[in-house]
Structure 1
Amino acid sequence: MSRSAPPQEDTVRLGTIEPLRRADLPRVVGPLALLGPGVVLASFGFGSGELIWWPYLTAKYGLALVWLMIPAGLMQWWINYELARYVVLTGESPWAAYTRISRVFSLLYWAFAIVTLAWWGGYASAGATAIAALTGLPPGWSARDQTIFWTLISIVLSYAALLLSRTVHRIVELFMSACIVIGAGGVIVVAFHPAVSGHWPEFVRGLFTYNPLPPNWDPADNS
């Protein structure tokens, strides 16, 4: 006489807070349904590093630090992939996972996030500097005043979109879609420009060649 398997418990204890409830995995959706969230996720790649630091470091030190792109990209992929797996399997946000590890650990991450978000003005001013340089608007203003003008405009528009939109995710999705098209399209155009395409072999060699800090490294760049 065969014995039936013992019934599974309805909950799974994980970490220091209330246990997880067993449930079926979400239904697998088609690729088109994933396009919107995928665009938002892909747009995370267009951050301050890509728009500010990499161009700055390359202009200042050439291809000496290009090799860092591979470990940095792999690390970012691994972290995002594992966080996505946790969300799918548990239905909880990564912040809940941090709390399950330790409430102190979660508080430290919250503090880090608050400090990071406090830099939003810096991100806005970096983009505003580019807009001011490209447009020269408002006319007759100094470069500093033009940057401040576009910084305030971008902050006001961002908060207005978040506060007035009935579906915040839709606004973010549309904005990020535009960023992906403009950013990726711009990268392709620049990469195939004759002034740039001739440096492809040098770039590939630098990508797979480890280099320590350049001899002309500026200590001010440590911060």
Structure 2
Amino acid sequence: MKLNDSQAAQGLEGKDASGSAGRQKMGRLPALRWAELPKPVGLRKMLGPGIILVAVGIGSGEYISHPYITSQVGLTFLWAAAVGLGLQYFINTEVARYTLATGETAVTGFTRLWRGWAPLFVIMTVVPFAWPGWMSSAATMVTFTAGGQGSVQWIAVGGLVIIGLVLTLSPIVYKTVEKIEFLKVIAILVFAVVIILFVIGWEPWAALPAATVQGAGRMPEGIPAAFLVTAMVFAGGGGALNLTVSNYIRDKGWGMGAHAPRIVSPITGHEEAGSATGTQFEITPESEGHWKTWWKNAKTEQFWSFFVIGLFTIVIFSLLAYRLMPVGSYEGKGDLSFIQVQANIIGEQFGGPLQTFYLLIGTVALMFANLAVVDIVARVVADVLAVSYLRDHKFWTEAKIYTTCVWTMIALGVIILSVGITQPITLLAMAAILNCGVMVVYCALLIRLNRSLHKVVRITRPRILALGLAVLFYAAVAVFTTVTQIQTLISA
């Protein structure tokens, strides 16, 4: 049950010493309200946030980047997918920890530490994801399916407008996004089963363990650094996308997120009362038991729906590339022409229906990835504006701000496409490099944020180590990419 401000202020005031927020700084935002921690729900009802995030990765790293790398160097780079997904699993669950305990997003928590993070996270979210690389890729795939007919630019523009309408007219936005991404993942898993049974065979599976061990920790030569970064960062979610675990679990009603209002359409939905700032619970034997179940289920949901499905799809699409193309035989670029070549080989060896299925899966995966990206960016920006700048405004509710942000993202995408920037891989690489820096910043902030929670719910030392490794990993990748790019410019 969601509480309004007057209800939340009653009954539990004065118990800050035993609150789940612990020693959390309040900053310039209102103090956290008080409410009971809801009883945990079953794991099946919690499924969703991990699926949405991994669905974004399936639109880039899983479908394009890792298969292309496999075609050039074999299966030796799959270690990076496992590392990238593993680090993001810890990131996602630590983002979830803060929201489960306080009912507010991690970005709001960062803003409590320093108000300057509010505008910076707007910039760090919008700039990397303003580039409509996923939709441009989906439009290109449509032309492949149509035998080369159609304008990539206009198909992409039309797709962006459709995304805007879907997100604007959905009565409860999260439910629509979740259903769409669930359908996408199910379709991809069906395709994966088909190619496992009829295409891949046993040889690629036999070569996988030794190749992965052989390449562990090594960056393949002969592949642009920006491309490798794209594969690592967009394996799973990447960048500010991971932070929206907070937003999704609030709309899903996990933990103290159940006391936050959901984002609805200002046109077709009914806005819910409540505040975007947080709500903490009193630590009692009963609430501690509830917390342990919420936390266990949150980790399980992210492990299976994010890590396992993400790694499975990367491996399957990489094994498909390994099966279809002898290593090093493909001399083209790592763009959608690679997908077209694979599709032609599938058609020649296994028939036109499977070829069409492969292309349609790619089209759907990329378009729905762009839908999730627009939704995610709009959620982060709306949350920041609603909490830090328009908290007491009567007209600009979070739902209205969200809808405005959606159409602003659509407009930016249309402008970028209109000036002729339609090369998908270039757009995705730009986003990946920018997101490396973003991840370094918020991994460090998550450690600071979650160490301040009550001792019953705060981050543990092994998890601090995991986030610390994430900081070092993404910082190293960012430095490697920058140095490599500079060297390339100098040599040119």
Q: Could you tell me the TM-score, scaled by structure 2's length?
A: 0.39
Name 2:188's counterpart in structure 1. 183
The answer for unaligned runs of 5 or more in structure 1 is: 1-6
Q: Aligned letter for 2:24?
A: L
Residue 36 of structure 1: how far off its partner (Å): 4.6
User: Is contact 1:14–1:20 with CA below 8 Å preserved after alignment?
Assistant: no
Name 2:136's counterpart in structure 1. 125
Alignment of 1:38-57 (within 5 A): 39-57=51-69
The higher relative CO (CA closer than 8 Å, separation ≥ 6) is in: 2
- Distance across 2 between alignment mates of 1:117 and 1:34: 27
Q: Aligned letter for 2:160?
A: I
- Distance across 1 between alignment mates of 2:72 and 2:181: 29
Residue 208 of structure 1: how far off its partner (Å): 3.1
Q: Percent identity?
A: 28
Q: Aligned letter for 2:205?
A: W
What whole-Å deviation, never above 9, does each CA across 1:36-72 have from its counterpart, x for those lacking one?
5554355344242222221222223322311111211
User: Is contact 1:165–1:171 with CA below 8 Å preserved after alignment?
Assistant: yes
Q: Aligned letter for 2:153?
A: I
Alignment of 1:1-223 (within 5 A): 8-9=15-16, 13-15=23-25, 16-17=27-28, 18-37=30-49, 39-119=51-131, 121-136=132-147, 139=149, 141=150, 145=151, 147-209=152-214, 210=216, 212-218=218-224, 221=227
User: Is contact 1:70–1:207 with CA below 8 Å preserved after alignment?
Assistant: no
Higher helix proportion:
2
- Distance across 2 between alignment mates of 1:60 and 1:204: 18
The answer for unaligned runs of 5 or more in structure 2 is: 1-13, 229-428, 430-492
Q: Aligned letter for 2:145?
A: L
Distance 1:103-1:47 versus aligned 2 partners, 3 A rule: farther
Aligned residue for 1:202, secondary structure, equals: helix
RMSD across aligned C-alpha pairs, in angstroms? 2.7
Distance 1:97-1:208 versus aligned 2 partners, 3 A rule: farther
Distance 1:136-1:170 versus aligned 2 partners, 3 A rule: farther
Q: Aligned letter for 1:8?
A: K
- Distance across 2 between alignment mates of 1:57 and 1:103: 41
Provide the aligned length of Structure 1 versus Structure 2. 210
Q: Could you tell me the TM-score, scaled by structure 1's length?
A: 0.79
